Amino acid sequence: EFILLGLSNTRELQVLSFTTFFLAYAMVLLGNLLLIVTVRTDPKLSSPMYFLLCNLSFIDICYTSVISPRMLVDLLSQRKAIAFEDCIAQLFFLHFVGASEMFLLTVMAYDRYTAICKPLHYTAIMSRQVCWVLVSSCWAGGFLHSIVQTLLTIQLPFCGPNKIDSYFCDVPPVIRLACTDIYVTEWLMASNSGLISLVCFLVLVVSYTFILVTIRVRFTEGHWKALSTCASHMMVVTLFFVPCIFIYLRPFSTFPSDKHICVIYTVLSPVMNPLIYTLRNNEVKVSMWKLWKRCR
């Protein structure tokens, strides 16, 4: 088994962290479930953008549920032990869902690029069949990425220290405990996780650059609305990708633990998604208000 050291050893900070993370987890669950129900019940929200947004909400629920419940229990526990099999399972599902979200955010950027830069061909390019293929590809890519990370981890021998300086099982803190030379393994993992994060982020930046150029050339009121949507999307993307690039695109054994930076993309980013996509979207807010009046 492994021992998770958590974020702090101070009891007062653990209680404060529990309260904060519990509220964050509740916001992620309620916000994303409300978004899914709203999109599914309103026929007006049937465009590819809302289909992809609905899938993003589902992924966020899965992503935060891989980490938060275990973290909340450990914050109130004296001994934060986790079995080796449970640790590997958490690592697998974390990378499975996390990589799937990276690919989906990239697909969403492509959707916005097509809608703004090629509006006349948008319906043909982003048909429902194409959307299903893109979403399925995101899940398949996430699965392949996670399988590689998991197989590289379980083939390592663990026979010495068992204390993980983090609040969840992830590749960098776990493979530091291996009692063998991990130089080749950590570079393989960094080239996998780190390059996926970097390439997806660069694709996002390029797509938004094309969008900004298009809006600058032919600016209308509709394009201003699109720009507002893209700006909020880019803010969420930056919160998610930049810490991931910092954590994974480097040798793991030569740098100290960055568990406090991990909070940004494991807790803060999933909270921001439903807030950004509801409070800054009038169509979603109107649909939610109709759903509220219908349920009263």
Give the 3-state DSSP-derived string for 253-276, with helices as H, strands as E and coil as C. Answer: CCCCCCHHHHHHHHHHHHHHHHHH
Angle at 140 between CA 276 and CA 118, to 5 degrees: 55
Q: Torsion angle of alpha carbons 264, 254, 74, 270, nearest 10°?
A: 20
- Amino acid identity of residue 276, one-letter, is I
pLDDT band at 49 (very low <50, low <70, confident <90, very high): confident
Model confidence pLDDT, tens digit, residues 168-197: 999 888 988 888 888 888 888 888 888 999
What average pLDDT does the segment 246-266 reach? 79
Q: Which two tokens stand for residue 101?
A: 């979200």
Q: Is the pLDDT of residue 32 over 60?
A: yes
pLDDT digits (tens, 9 = 90+) for 121-130: 888 899 889 9
Question: Looking at residue 279, what is its pLDDT?
Answer: 66
25: pLDDT confidence band, cut at 50, 70 and 90?
A: very high
Tens digits of residue pLDDT in 128-164: 899 999 999 999 999 999 999 999 999 989 887 888 8
Contact yes or no for 115/226 (Cβ under 8 A): yes
Please tell me the predicted confidence (pLDDT) of residue 149.
92
- Confidence class for position 91, pLDDT limits 50, 70, 90: very high
Tell me the pLDDT tens digit for each residue of 197-250.
Answer: 999 999 998 988 888 887 776 655 555 666 666 677 777 788 889 989 988 887
Q: What is the pLDDT of residue 138?
A: 96
Partners of residue 4 on adjacent β-strands? 164
AA letter at 290: K
Mean pLDDT is lowest, of 16-20, 83-87, 134-138, 272-276, for 272-276
pLDDT band at 255 (very low <50, low <70, confident <90, very high): low
Q: Report the distance separating Cα 136 and Cα 220, nearest Å.
A: 34
Point out the least confidently predicted range of 85-94, 124-133, 283-292: 283-292
Greatest distance between any 2 Cα atoms in the chain: 64
**Domains identified in the chain and CATH numbers:** 2-295 (1.20.1070.10)
Q: Indicate the pLDDT class of residue 63, thresholds 50, 70 and 90.
A: very high
